[in-house]
Every structure is written in C-alpha cells, then in structure tokens.
Structure 1
C-alpha cells in the first residue's frame, strides 16, 4: 500500500533511500510509462508500445522490459542492464504532489512504504538540512517527467486525430518452443503515416510530434534483443 508524504527537511532529514536495483526493491515490472520527450533515449534500449488506460479514454506509452507480468529481463544480479532508465523508474520512490494538471508550485512527495526507504541508502539531506546532490538530481528528473507528461497530451491527441495507432499483437516463439504473446497493445500505423500529406507532416514536425513517432517505430527493433534476453534467461534455468 502506498504511503505518500510531502518531503520536508523537518520530517525526513535523516531519511535514506536505497538506489540499487532488484526485484526486492520493486523493479520486477514488465513495463514502465515513458513520455515522448524521452523516446529518443528510451528507444536505444527498449521497445515502445502504446496502451489504452482502464477507462479507455487515453493512451499511454510504455517502455517494455519483459513479456509477462512481473518480468524484467534487464535485471541481472542487482544491476539494471541498460544505459538508460525511463524517468518514471529512475525517480522512484518519489513523485510530484498534486494533480499533474493543477496550478501552483509542484512539490516533491515520497512513498514511505517503498522498499527503497531506509537501510544503507543515500541521504536526502545533509546535517544542515540542505538537499543532497542525489535529491537535487531527483528534483530535476521529476521536473522533466512532469513537463514530459504535460506535453504528451497534445502528442497523443495528434496520434488519435490522424489515426496513427493500430492494435498490435505480438506472438513470439522462444528457443524452448514456448510462446509468449503481447496483447492489448498498439503501435504506430506505418502505412497510415506514409499516407499523410506534406502539410500534415509539417504540422506534426512543427509541434515536435514527428520525431517521437519515428523513435517509437525505430524502437521495435529492440524486440529482437528482448527476445534474446528471454531466451538467455530460459537457457540459464
């Protein structure tokens, strides 16, 4: 159960956060939210797919780490085997307080129920109550994630307006003969993208939407690497 609290010097001066990686720290996840502003870096490591939320009124972009719930094929002996962590993963156990569409200053909150809290982790404040370099870095990443989230609304609206998302089902046969399926996801409709006229493409480019579209398409090349990770995991028992 989540236990969110506003992060303050008075209440959390001696609090420590474990920055390692592992299933016991909450990293055993199949995917993570990714925002369009980070697609260029995400696609270097992970496939990017899209999925409707539970209310089926908004799409979300996801960086894929595995093929099954709770499977993260990038976890390896306490390390995350990738050069880039999606922002939504990198900032845990922190979050921005208040509604993402609200007004006023955003505040840093922390999930006190997270397994990352305590132990021999990194301090958030020094003895004088000043933010540590780690906390300052987290604040910057939270700001980048929030800004990316705000900008993503127009991106997804453009994708839907131009009918650029299509249902995508991936069925993958592994070396041991077993089959993994990714269902209920969407991908960029490349045929539809090719049909767009120059004016529409120019508008997408002017709105900074064209690059993340191409990055999402390019990211599907990472599926073969994800399959290879799965096969190695099976091969090692």
Structure 2
C-alpha cells in the first residue's frame, strides 16, 4: 500500500532516495504509463501501446517492457539497459499532489512505503542540512512538472485520436527462438491505414493540436517489438 505524505524539509530533512534500478526497487514491471510529450524519447527503445482504464472511460499510453506481469526485459540486475527511462519511473518515489488550497500551486508528495526510501546512509538526500532542496530534488521537481504538464495534455490527445478514429485494437503475438509464443492482448495501437486516409483538413487539425508528431512516434515505436522479442528469447534461453 502506498503511504503518501507532503514532502517537507521539516519532516524529511535527512531522508535519502536510492536511485539505482532493480527488481527490489519496484522496477520489475511489464509497462509504464507515459505521456505524449515524451513519445519521441520513448519510441527509440520501447513499443508504445494504448489501453483503456479499468473503468473503460479513457485511454492511457504505455511504454512496454515485457509480455507478462512482473517482466521487465530492460532490467539487467541493477542496470537499466535502455537509452531512456520514462518520466513516471524517473520521479519515483515522488509524485504531484493536489494544491493545499483551490487555485494554489501543486505540491510534491512522497510515497514513504516505497522501496526506494533508504533506511541507511545509502542514497541521495532531498534536502541539505539547512533544509534547502538538493540539486537532485530540484531535478526531480522539474521532471515532475514535465510529467504533470503531459498529463494535462493527455485528454486532448486521446480526444483527437478518437475523433479521427486513429485507435484500433491490437494483439501482438510473437514467436520466440525456442518456438514458444508470447502475446500482448487488450491493447490498442495507431490505425495506420486510417491515418494514411486522412485528408488535409484532418491532418491539419492534428498538427494544430500538436498531436501529429506523437501519433507518428507511436506508430514508429512498433518497430521495437522485434527488440522485445529478441530480449525475451535471450532471457528464455538463459533462464528457461
């Protein structure tokens, strides 16, 4: 269970965060939520897929790291084996909290039950001895701001994709080197044929909203399914 608290130098002056990657730090996940503003960076390494929320009321975007729950094919012991780490993973165990008063500034919260919280002298402090934010916290605050801005633009992006019928159900089934298969089901992808049929007005609408580039980035990212397959084949060969 998460244990969120408002981050403050009074309460968390000596608290340290462990930035290293690892399954024991919460990184053994098959996917991570991402926002359209980081699609360009994500698509270099990971397939980008879309999925309805459990309430089925809106879509969310994911960077895919594996084919099954708890499988992260980019996690090699304590090393992140990819050129990019999505923002939602970079900022852990910090998160954006609602403002204390209506119309006020959003606040930084921290999950005190996170395995990234250090129980020793290991890790990086968030505040110095005078209670000032460390460079590490300042960097994390910038990334939290970028992620929050991305969330604010999320609804417009998916509204535009729905308006132009650019999302279609997608099942990915791949055959590994040993002949076994892995599947990703329940996801959506960009409808490439539909995208190619859009007229100039529709393309102009997407471009004006800043949505056209993320659409192409998501489409291009599917080339990384082959990389995911190769990583899975290697892991199966090594560990069975």
User: Which portions of structure 1, spanning 4 or more consecutive aligned residues, are displaced by more than 6 angstroms?
Assistant: none
The 1-side partners of 2:181 and 2:223 are apart by: 19
Deviation at 1:195, TM superposition (A): 1.2
The 1-side partners of 2:211 and 2:139 are apart by: 27
* SS, match of residue 236 in structure 1: helix
The 1-side partners of 2:90 and 2:223 are apart by: 23
Q: Name the TM-score, length of structure 2 as normaliser.
A: 0.96
Q: Name the TM-score, length of structure 1 as normaliser.
A: 0.97
Distance 1:74 1:15, change over 3 A: same
Gaps in structure 2 of 5+ consecutive residues: none
Work out whether 1:51 is the aligned partner of 2:42.
no
Gaps in structure 1 of 5+ consecutive residues: none
1:186 equivalent in structure 2: 188
Tell me if the contact between 2:50 and 2:59 (Cα under 8 Å) persists in the aligned partners.
Answer: yes
2:23 equivalent in structure 1: 23
1:226 equivalent in structure 2: 228
Deviation at 1:18, TM superposition (A): 0.4
The 2-side partners of 1:149 and 1:177 are apart by: 40
* Structural mapping, 1:94-113, within 5 Å: 94-98=94-98, 103-113=103-113
The 2-side partners of 1:150 and 1:82 are apart by: 27
2:163 equivalent in structure 1: 161
Deviation at 1:172, TM superposition (A): 1.2
* Structural mapping, 1:130-145, within 5 Å: 130-145=132-147
1:81 equivalent in structure 2: 81
The 1-side partners of 2:188 and 2:147 are apart by: 22
1:236 equivalent in structure 2: 238
Superposed CA RMSD? 1.0
2:62 equivalent in structure 1: 62
Deviation at 1:77, TM superposition (A): 2.0
* SS, match of residue 51 in structure 2: strand
* SS, match of residue 67 in structure 1: coil
